[in-house]
Structure 1
């Protein structure tokens, strides 16, 4: 008996094995897990006896078209105009590469060639998947579905799906459900990943402990436009997950000779549960950052919550002086600095500093801020335009619109069609001008509305315009230009909070803004979910005076600082309203953060408990194990309940050397690693102490 071809992809700690199916012309998953999981009978090689199904419908297929897989969900639906849908392809060949694999399939009758692409990245445990579709015939092809890939997880007892859900101001809520049979789908058609769901999913066996060590499989789609992830619990004891982008008009046309490349789908595995899976994603995002990872992420002050649209040089300088006094390193002027921007009804598109707000010139203002020892940043919203702006008067055709239909305003603004080359050129020229004329080292790129009347009159039939992909390409082109032309400028990604957080954005920005909600307990829950999928060095987090929205329990200034220290620290409170004691406390926290931020941004993370527990925390361990930073939080009642008065709460740390000694200089205590692993790090909570940032140093053995 001749065994089918098999290819093995290896990452730092995992293996991903693919083979040709003995049942038909498709590739299927043979093994995915730790090194060695490929040796032995495949856990996915169950009996091919099926009733009312084809073998392809029951197979753990990596990618199948609807013609071959008619019943249980396919990744590709294609047809010629006026013809029946379906692809019936044959295997053409394989191309093995040092860090990847290409498997080619072709339907010569239809005139379509599909290449399934795989890549591994040295030093990570991520496998990248995507597909390339080429029209090889003489007629255009209609693609109704063209996912990036699918993956199968064996699950005889069903799976637990973990995903990040929410809404504006309540993003990244870790949510779990059990799926034994049926279909679960999440996604967005808002032109960005959206606030409701993140393009990320984790899959575990249903019987695995929710937060303990167990095999965990993860997927994340690298796409800042419309998308979906769909999990299907199939007959036979498996869950198959497919993901891809969603075309705006429901279809994309492929011209003869044209190739469509799908977004990359990142696959990750960890034997250590969701906590271990988070570390795999964090290492991947450190890889995406490249050389930018080595930059020190500066302590930021943002003026928005202090002044809103009421921006003028005198008020901003007063805030800048206060920010410099407490140790901030970067001052960001938010919305309201440009002409016509007295409120949210005007100004967008006319990106010139308001001469009335800066009577001595914006250059003079920038110089005065920098004289305080602060770098300067600006808020921009390059994709938006106000109907009363000069830009709109000159280029009304640059906005998304549908002829003979009203232009709907969201947040009193319209959206530029960034898929147009002339609009991209305008945005690039505008940002180049600002960054060249003024000594600006930071841009906060915001987007506060989704596309609604998404059309481009005069450009041809609407269903022949791939507007979502064109907007994404324009957005990425502008970011790529900023990275190349202004490499010293840091970029923060924002879309009304956490509406556009994905790997394509993270590869081109320095930080992202997870949410507009900065209330302490609300924010802690947002960050808890965010850190499951994304790394601390990309998480911008502010200390403000905002009251709780979803959890109104008050918390101290210390709590707000410790929570913000879990990412890239920023301050957004009105410092003019803070007394001397608050400013002094803030200065102490900022100084402590500067001592440990390299561990936080480069270290290995462990999530200790959840915000639902009376005590929870985040542990950061330096790559060499020499330093451990623990952010600990009292998330229960402020009177210390349910603890017996005088009895400390304890957080069991993870990943330490049991025999090593760890010194806490603040508490003047030395712990054995075994003690911290077994009993935990003690915290004495009270009404006056509800959070702490503990820095432990591993002592040299004597």
Structure 2
């Protein structure tokens, strides 16, 4: 049978869409390596259904309630006060190289829906999103407005992998099998949140855990409320849909209005979750553009050393010590501005405290820079303290519900960044700080979600779409920072990893995955993070923090090698370190500078997991000439090798079996075949629990 079909091609994959023979909708025909579209579709059904409609059983790319009455629909729309449902007809396709637009129109309702596709050059990622056009003369109510849906063929159910957690335990790599029913993750906290990342991977549950097998992934580009939902359907497929979740429960379209959903990035790898991670890494290097090649500087942040007790003399003492170790950037965290003796005041009044900097803040910054350090500053632009001058002048700027008490979280309130006057205040404040002072690094934090989320006096509350307005305000400010201050490095943080999504990652240089810097805890967090996100984005500090969830002690070397897996920073109280510790730190920093280009711009491979007694991360330079391996012992530190007389080994991946590789510290030469088959040896002991190995191809 002949159908209308369109194929989009990425570097290594094909994505084919067809018009269904059963009705007016688009459905997935094939998705996988090049050529997968040649032959009968693996998603082909019998076209016979009982007690459901063909639309409910279809591997549909997007279907509204109305045409799809029983299974989960991607769009629920109607006129206020009338029956919900969309019954559309196909009205044409627009194609250009790398793009596809499929239009569907419901003339009775007055809604045109366009399914949009675009390949991302140089990657194996396809963007999906949906555009809505109100074409009638009556208002429309959209109760569900997902970005897209994808269908994955499985045989015995789906193995779903997601990143779960809580504050201080983000990015826990979590697997679950879905044989029948529905699985859903998301956030209504006005940010992606700590509980789940807006990311999901899908494999056939029959795929072996430790061997390459096809893996499909989605990630939603939206730093607000969101969901990802997977449904194991009766026909033996899993269908995943995703989109934003309006705070008010629905979005209204006036006649003539248009609305565009967030983009859903869709990725495929034949090499399982580890291969899929490299697809995401490559995509995020694409998002960075030329900024990828700017070295991420070794950072020292003073928060864990001084907390709110910030003064010029104490900060300069720390800066001098950090510079002696080889740090390149000094960041003053919370506590630098007026009224900030603790977390009960000051937020919103973004002026340096004259008592803390008696010679002036400009002089203090110059003194830090005279040490050879770049200078950075922490801000929390969306937050305000009830005791601040800003709140006294503009109490209407915070989220609130008339007649209801305002709830304090961390002794603070949240500004309504959806208001243009609040956006202008934030823009003016950041412009002033970055213009008046020689600041090269800005850490943007967000330490509480909005609770009483309302805007009295702005019209009917159910018509406001506050979540989308806040997101657009947040992105407007970040875009302004990029254009007006292109040389400033921006770090994204939300109480740790509470706001990490592709919209944020496209506008920041690094992100802070978690406030938990304890060594084994952090290793687990980073293991999950690197499945979804690239090393050049992962800010990681060496601190003295004890374990929160895993209190087993680890060496200073372990802490450094862990932090060197991303963007190296130090947050410990250097005043308490011994001369030997400082000397060791300086050696590690020197080694990091020698390999960070490979870590940040190379191909990363995850070797095992922190659940294994030995695990690691392998980084390959683009030309394969240098291999960097960060290796860790997570087993008991009893002073003996894991097997008496034999070292532990990490099998490397992706090497040329016929090539020779020389390990620089030991001068030992291995064949690629040896490293692939037997692995790189590591002899662990109580005082040697981590190692950074560098191999050069000969």
Q: TM-score, normalised by structure 2?
A: 1.00
User: 1:619 maps to which residue?
Assistant: 618
User: 2:573 maps to which residue?
Assistant: 574
Counterparts of 2:153 and 2:641, CA distance in 1: 41
Counterparts of 1:420 and 1:319, CA distance in 2: 40
User: 1:651 maps to which residue?
Assistant: 650
Counterparts of 2:297 and 2:435, CA distance in 1: 21
Partner of 1:187: helix, strand, or coil? strand
User: 2:91 maps to which residue?
Assistant: 92
**Does 2:42 correspond to 1:43?**
yes
Return the offset for 1:98.
1.1
**Does 2:361 correspond to 1:362?**
yes
User: 2:79 maps to which residue?
Assistant: 80
User: 2:182 maps to which residue?
Assistant: 183
1:476-495 matches, within 5 Å, as 476-495=475-494
User: 1:532 maps to which residue?
Assistant: 531
User: 2:450 maps to which residue?
Assistant: 451
**Does 2:305 correspond to 1:306?**
yes
Return the offset for 1:327.
0.3
Cα contact 2:641–2:648 (8 A) shared by 1: no
Q: 1:642 to 1:24 in 2, by over 3 A?
A: farther
Return the offset for 1:641.
6.0
Q: 1:315 to 1:416 in 2, by over 3 A?
A: same
Q: Give ranges in structure 1 of 5+ residues lacking alignment.
A: none
Return the offset for 1:665.
1.7
User: 2:606 maps to which residue?
Assistant: 607
Partner of 2:62: helix, strand, or coil? coil
How many aligned residue pairs are there? 698
Counterparts of 1:592 and 1:328, CA distance in 2: 12
Residues 321-375 of structure 1, C-alpha deviation per residue, up to 9 Å, x if partnerless?
0000000000000000000000000000000000000000000000000000000
User: 1:63 maps to which residue?
Assistant: 62
Cα contact 1:211–1:275 (8 A) shared by 2: no
Residues 132-154 of structure 1, C-alpha deviation per residue, up to 9 Å, x if partnerless?
01111111100000000000001
Return the offset for 1:46.
1.6
Return the offset for 1:294.
1.0
**Does 2:141 correspond to 1:142?**
yes
Residues 281-335 of structure 1, C-alpha deviation per residue, up to 9 Å, x if partnerless?
0000000011111100000000000000000000000000000000000000000
Counterparts of 1:640 and 1:228, CA distance in 2: 47
Q: Give ranges in structure 2 of 5+ residues lacking alignment.
A: none
User: 2:545 maps to which residue?
Assistant: 546
Counterparts of 2:47 and 2:622, CA distance in 1: 47
Return the offset for 1:558.
0.1
Cα contact 2:400–2:456 (8 A) shared by 1: yes
Partner of 1:127: helix, strand, or coil? strand
Residues 645-697 of structure 1, C-alpha deviation per residue, up to 9 Å, x if partnerless?
33100000000000111111201101100000000000010001000000101
Counterparts of 2:259 and 2:210, CA distance in 1: 40
Residues 37-70 of structure 1, C-alpha deviation per residue, up to 9 Å, x if partnerless?
0000000012111111100000000000000001
Partner of 1:198: helix, strand, or coil? coil
User: 1:294 maps to which residue?
Assistant: 293
- Computed over aligned residues only, the root mean square deviation of the Cα atoms, in angstroms, reads 0.7
Cα contact 1:211–1:274 (8 A) shared by 2: no
Return the offset for 1:418.
0.1
User: 1:692 maps to which residue?
Assistant: 691
Partner of 1:253: helix, strand, or coil? strand
Counterparts of 1:333 and 1:194, CA distance in 2: 25
Q: Is the deviation greater in 205-214 or in 280-289?
A: 205-214
Counterparts of 2:661 and 2:364, CA distance in 1: 48
Cα contact 2:565–2:599 (8 A) shared by 1: yes
Residues 381-437 of structure 1, C-alpha deviation per residue, up to 9 Å, x if partnerless?
000000010000000000000111111000000000000000000000000000000
User: 2:591 maps to which residue?
Assistant: 592
Q: Is the deviation greater in 664-673 or in 163-172?
A: 664-673
User: 1:343 maps to which residue?
Assistant: 342
Counterparts of 1:220 and 1:640, CA distance in 2: 43
Cα contact 1:121–1:127 (8 A) shared by 2: yes
User: 1:331 maps to which residue?
Assistant: 330
Counterparts of 1:167 and 1:132, CA distance in 2: 34
User: 2:52 maps to which residue?
Assistant: 53
1:450-529 matches, within 5 Å, as 450-529=449-528
User: 2:419 maps to which residue?
Assistant: 420
Return the offset for 1:637.
0.3
Q: Which segments of structure 1 move beyond 4 Å, counting only runs of 4 or more?
A: none
1:102-501 matches, within 5 Å, as 102-501=101-500
Q: TM-score, normalised by structure 1?
A: 0.99
Cα contact 2:158–2:204 (8 A) shared by 1: yes
Q: 1:248 to 1:680 in 2, by over 3 A?
A: same
Return the offset for 1:212.
2.1
Residues 553-591 of structure 1, C-alpha deviation per residue, up to 9 Å, x if partnerless?
000000000000000000000000001000000000000
Residues 496-553 of structure 1, C-alpha deviation per residue, up to 9 Å, x if partnerless?
0000000000000000000000000000000000000000000000000000000010
Cα contact 2:664–2:693 (8 A) shared by 1: no
Counterparts of 2:570 and 2:373, CA distance in 1: 14
Partner of 2:198: helix, strand, or coil? strand
Cα contact 1:558–1:690 (8 A) shared by 2: yes
Cα contact 2:375–2:438 (8 A) shared by 1: yes
Counterparts of 1:573 and 1:362, CA distance in 2: 24
Counterparts of 1:209 and 1:690, CA distance in 2: 30
Counterparts of 1:113 and 1:647, CA distance in 2: 67
Partner of 2:479: helix, strand, or coil? helix
Partner of 1:197: helix, strand, or coil? coil
Residues 459-498 of structure 1, C-alpha deviation per residue, up to 9 Å, x if partnerless?
0111000000000000000000000000000000000000
Return the offset for 1:644.
2.4
Counterparts of 1:457 and 1:294, CA distance in 2: 46
Partner of 1:153: helix, strand, or coil? strand
Cα contact 2:418–2:466 (8 A) shared by 1: yes
Partner of 1:353: helix, strand, or coil? coil
Counterparts of 1:48 and 1:388, CA distance in 2: 66
Counterparts of 1:291 and 1:440, CA distance in 2: 21
Partner of 1:102: helix, strand, or coil? strand
Cα contact 1:355–1:361 (8 A) shared by 2: yes
Return the offset for 1:210.
2.0
Q: Is the deviation greater in 641-650 or in 77-86?
A: 641-650
